Amino acid sequence: MSLVRLLVFFLSALLAAGCESGPWSRPRADPAVNSGRLPAVSLGPLIGLCEQRIRLFKVAVGPDQAIHVLLLPNFGDKLRYSVVRAGKLFDGETLPAVLQSGEVLDAVVDRHGALHALVGKRHFELGQAGWKEVDGPGCMSFVPGGPNVACLFELAAPDPRNKTRWDWFGFGGFGVGIILPWVTNATKFGLAEYTSAGWVERGIVDRASSWDIVHADAVASQAGDVEVVYRRWVHAFVDVSQLRYERFNAPGREAAPTPTERVEALGADDASWSLGRFWGNPRIASDGVGRESVVLMADNNGAVWMRRIVHGMPEPARMLLDEKGFRRVRGLVALGKGRMVALLEESRTGWWSNPPQPMRLVVYREGKWSAPIEVGATSHFDESSLLAVGTDSVAVIGVDSEGHSFLRLVRVLPDPAAESDEAIAVPNR
């Protein structure tokens, strides 16, 4: 027995030493991208968006910094429309469409100030005469930032551009197993742009593979280049997931330097790598001129990773925040002059944690991120969102303990020297 105990002690010591120094040790936040200092921000008051519980909401901001709000009290109800101007909420024209459970809702404001809404796969535009429906490719989500309205849409199953693959399933018991192949149509997303001539298709995301795309986040530059980060999935006895990046340059511009690139923190090309899988959805923001973009992603261990993309070429991934509890990147926006802001939802254990969930902002400036600063809490996990408002403020949207949606404006103070090791959260007066 003493020999067994000795072996156990020796192996435990070896593992402990390896976990501290070996290549499988837990990585830490990279000081090259994390300043460790809390940002200086000015917190505005909470603005209630609805006096009753709601099922779904979406917000968008216009060039005049008015915040447009679409609210769905219950599935099957018509969508309510409101506008926030100068800190006050004004009711607008009800959108003549209903949304059913499982359907998408999205909104964007074009460069002329017109609001566009996706209700299910129907596209509506708000003009001087009110809401009107616009024919389209069946958009799932808008792509903000470009000269024209653009969207991602799902290719229909019989579309010849959809690839097929063999999925393998196994089952059995009592020493007997059966493995069966199954022919599956891949799920692919297309990119389309709404021009003066109508909708024009720009390309297919991840076209060459037979994997399913299960999530995508996209942003466009002022010139019309579109960058997409997406999570793709395949079943090969077990579920396999990857995060990837693809760029579609505007028509008339030379092709993107790399067709697709894997972006999660794995492999020898990265400064460090994640021990946890990336089942969360990635986010992307761009400086608007196509020089620099940033991808943020949270792994299953609670760490948040960053990958810069410079002129379309991804750099090695860096850990922004250490593994801690459970995190989701709920929003990532650019404010101009090289600054970006991200919204994180956090909990100590996981999505099953009791509400409220803290909402924290991190600010990117001059190549480094700040430490997270708390700006509120939300009671519904995965329902908070973030908007850029002008060049120095963001709007944080969440749900309170009564199920009511709210909005808070947060101004990012411009002086980098204002950052400190102490929390600086200045309430608006």
Asked if 270 and 316 count as a contact pair (C-beta separation under 8 A), the reply is: yes
Instruction: Please tell me the distance from the alpha carbon of residue 374 to that of residue 423, in angstroms, as a whole number.
Output: 9
163 Cα distance to chain centroid: 26
| pLDDT reported for residue 425 | 47
Domain annotation covers residue 21: no
Q: What is the CATH number of the domain that holds 165?
A: 2.130.10.10
Question: Please, is 248 exposed, middle or buried when counting C-beta atoms within 10 Å of its C-beta (0-12, 13-18, 19+)?
Answer: buried
| pLDDT reported for residue 274 | 52
List of residues 6+ apart from 78 with CB closer than 8 A: 94, 95, 96, 97, 98
Q: What is the domain count for the chain?
A: 1
Asked if 326 and 280 count as a contact pair (C-beta separation under 8 A), the reply is: no
Domain annotation covers residue 16: no
| pLDDT reported for residue 403 | 82
Domain annotation covers residue 1: no
Model's pTM, two decimal places?
Answer: 0.83
299: which 2 tokens?
């792994």
Domain annotation covers residue 244: yes
Average pLDDT taken over every residue of the chain: 82
Segment 310-345, tens digit of pLDDT:
888 888 888 899 877 678 899 999 998 889 999 999
317: which 2 tokens?
């991934």
Closest Cα partner for 140 from 163, 122, 156?
122
Domain annotation covers residue 149: yes
Centre a 10 Å sphere on the Cβ of residue 361 and count the other Cβ atoms it contains: 24
What percent of the chain has pLDDT above 90? 42
* pLDDT under 50: residue ranges of the chain: 1, 4-25, 267-269, 271-273, 275, 418-429
Domain annotation covers residue 22: no
Domain annotation covers residue 7: no
151: which 2 tokens?
């969207």
Question: Please, is 268 exposed, middle or buried when counting C-beta atoms within 10 Å of its C-beta (0-12, 13-18, 19+)?
Answer: exposed
Closest Cα partner for 327 from 353, 292, 308?
353
CA diameter of the chain? 87
Residue 419: its H or E element: none
Which residue range(s) make up the domain with 225? 29-427
Domain annotation covers residue 4: no
Instruction: Please tell me the distance from the alpha carbon of residue 379 to that of residue 401, in angstroms, as a whole number.
Output: 5
